[in-house]
Amino acid sequence: MKIRDIITPEDIVIQESADSKKQILQEMVRIVSAQNMPLDERLVTESLLERERLGSTGLGEGVAIPHARCAFPEQTDRSITGLLLKLNKPIDFEANDNQPVDIIFMLLASQHCGTEHLTRLAAISRFIRDENAAKQIRKATSTDQIWQTLCDRRLSSAA
């Protein structure tokens, strides 16, 4: 599975900064809801925060993959959606290595999607933990440049 099979160019956002993990998760849910599907933003954000209470999804080395199962609208045919956010100013995400996070790949799965979300989480993790992929995303100044990184066969073959 390739990362570009999980998200589209419209699912990539560059943001200057955020004040907190909660704020960035709320903002990411708002973006997904506005772009892809109308979600109950409060409930989805609470699902993400509940998952964070179980243990931070900050993997280390400036990367986090917050994820949760949640109710998707009945009118959608999607069972998973994602958003890749690059922060120009890293934030504390309570990562395992205590380093701030600047690359956040959120994955939302419907409550009925089975184990497909685990396959996608693994693909995202393999890709984003590639030193070159993270370096290219951090160097990018546009969403187009990040998309090109996601489409780079040398990098995306790791996923």
Does residue 117 carry a catalytic annotation? no
Residue 11 lies in a domain: yes
In this prediction, residue 128 has a pLDDT band, given cuts at 50, 70 and 90, of: confident
Q: Which residues pair with 12 in a beta bridge?
A: 84
Q: Which DSSP string do the residues of 117-159 spell out, in sequence order?
A: HHHHHHHHHHHHTSHHHHHHHHH--SHHHHHHHHH-HHHHTT-
In this prediction, residue 157 has a pLDDT band, given cuts at 50, 70 and 90, of: very low
Instruction: Over range 112-127, report the average pLDDT.
Output: 78
Residue 119 lies in a domain: no
| Arithmetic mean of pLDDT over the chain | 86
From the list 48, 58, 67, 86, the catalytic residue is: 67
Residue range(s) defining the domain that contains residue 97: 6-113
What CATH code is carried by the domain that includes residue 92? 3.40.930.10
Residue 127 lies in a domain: no
Q: What is the pLDDT of residues 20-70, one digit of tens each?
A: 999 999 999 999 988 867 888 999 999 999 999 999 999 999 999 999 988
Residue 105 lies in a domain: yes
Split into its structural domains, the chain has a count of: 1
